[in-house]
Amino acid sequence: MNVEQVQNTHPELVSAETPVLQVQNLEVTYYTDAGRAKALDDLSFSLKAGEKLGIVGESGSGKSTLALAMMQMIKSPGRIEGGQVYVDGTELMALNAEDMRRSRLQKIAYIPQGAMNSLNPVMRIGAQMVDAVISHVENESKAETKERCMLALESVDLARGTFKMFPHELSGGMKQRVCIAIGILLQPQVIIADEPTSALDVVTQRQVMETIDRVRKKINAAVILIGHDMGLMAQFVDKVAVMYAGRLVEVSTVRQMFTDPQQPYSKALINCLPNLDNKGVFQGIPGLAPSLLRLPGGCAFHPRCELARDICKTSRPEPQSDKSGRSVICHLFDKEAQNEPSS
């Protein structure tokens, strides 16, 4: 791992106003036989306590890689090439393996995609929860640990009796809530939920999302929701980040995103959502997501972009921010920003 700055804590970062999570210049590359694939390309963002960020993008855009990189769970042939992840002032990239293991679940929890299938079918729910506590907390009595698990189950609306049940006795939505309960056992400051509802129907989805929201308020954690459903984002998050080919092409508040999206890709993502006004109109995004092994030159989106100009094919756009904290990667956006003061 390439860690240049070895700074474990930044006391000056810890205050009410400063973000609880800060990701700076994160880069991940997969070294495959077919070549190098840059899955995360110089990615930065920050999140305050209690804030909800949604990360959307097509499959293969690097959403799950981002979650894994923050947890330092990238496996070979992938490598974290650089960048820092600060959680509550602690630089995770500088921790050794044992300290990082302790930080997972305690500082930053990860609810993986299809988490409900990650429960061990031959262990009772309680035993799996106790396992997680024992490996992170020392000197806690058995009774205290059990009580901690019970409270976690209650906070996700499950009966205390669930503690003694096996996974096959629970429905999909209940299993998913067990996984959320495990995620919040140690009251982490950051919770990353990777498509927590992709296999669930709409009613259960709403139930699970409401559970996550209630838990977030209770422990004042920052939540990162990864998914591809813009509708769910509109209902749940405060800020939306759109990911394309390993870069965050637009980060803005949910209101800005839905009323006035700037990046053509975010516009297309919003336009392809069905609503009740345009029955029978199907609007997809033309073309396919590019392979990370052979990214097009210039802006990676230009072959699919309706508004592409010559500059988009040759020059790679850099992130531009405006006063509201919105960040956009697009040549068209900086044109507008430049024109505005003069006109």
Partner 1 sequence: MSHLLELRNVSKVYSRGLISKQSTTALQDFSLTLREDEPSILTVAGESGSGKTTLAMLLLGFIAPTTGQIIYRGKDISTLRGSEKLAFRREVQAVFQDPFAVFNPFYTVDHLLSVPIKKFKLAKSRAEARDKMDEALTAVGLRPEDIIGRFPHQLSGGQRQRINVARALLLKPRLLIADEPVSMVDASLRASILETLRNLQRDHGVSIIYITHDLTTAYHIAKSIIVLYRGAVMETGEVEAVIKHPQHPYTRLLIDSIPWPNLDQRWGEQKIITRESSGAGNGCPFFSRCAQANEQCKNPAPLFSIAPHQAAACFLHSNKPELEAAQISETLPT
Contact (CB, 8 A) for 93 and 124: no
Beta bridge partners of 223: 52, 191
Binds partner 1 (CB under 8 A): choice among 187, 204, 295, 308: 204
- Interface stretch with partner 1, choices 13-21, 34-42, 276-284, 308-316 (CB under 8 A): 276-284
125 token code pair: 């729910």
Which one, 35 or 147, has the nearer CB to partner 1? 35
Burial (0-12, 13-18, 19+ Cβ within 10 Å), 281: exposed
Calculate helix-pair angle for 202-219, 172-183, nearest 10 degrees. 20
Size of the site for partner 1 (CB under 8 A): 46
Query: Residues 6 or more apart from 182 whose CB is under 8 A from it?
Result: 128, 129, 132, 152
- Rounded CA-CA distance 78/253 in Å is 31
Q: Assess 274 for contact with partner 1 (CB under 8 A).
A: yes
Q: Assess 200 for contact with partner 1 (CB under 8 A).
A: yes
H or E element at residue 247: strand 247-253
Rounded to the nearest whole angstrom, what is the least distance from the CB of residue 260 to partner 1 in the complex? Answer: 12
Q: Assess 34 for contact with partner 1 (CB under 8 A).
A: no
Q: Assess 288 for contact with partner 1 (CB under 8 A).
A: yes
Contact (CB, 8 A) for 154 and 74: no
Binds partner 1 (CB under 8 A): choice among 75, 279, 294, 323: 279
Burial (0-12, 13-18, 19+ Cβ within 10 Å), 233: buried
Chain residues 87-146 in contact with partner 1, contact rule CB under 8 A: none
Q: Assess 324 for contact with partner 1 (CB under 8 A).
A: no
307 token code pair: 């508004």
- Interface stretch with partner 1, choices 107-115, 145-153, 217-225, 283-291 (CB under 8 A): 283-291
Beta bridge partners of 46: 22
Beta bridge partners of 102: none
Q: Assess 280 for contact with partner 1 (CB under 8 A).
A: yes
Which one, 46 or 198, has the nearer CB to partner 1? 198
Rounded to the nearest whole angstrom, what is the least distance from the CB of residue 278 to partner 1 in the complex? Answer: 8
**CA-CA-CA-CA torsion sign (127, 128, 131, 133):** negative
Binds partner 1 (CB under 8 A): choice among 236, 249, 262, 330: 236
Which one, 197 or 320, has the nearer CB to partner 1? 197
Rounded to the nearest whole angstrom, what is the least distance from the CB of residue 287 to partner 1 in the complex? Answer: 10
Binds partner 1 (CB under 8 A): choice among 285, 295, 311, 337: 285
Contact residues for partner 1 (CB under 8 A)? 58-60, 157, 171-172, 198, 200-207, 210, 228-236, 254-255, 258-259, 268-270, 272-276, 279-285, 288-289
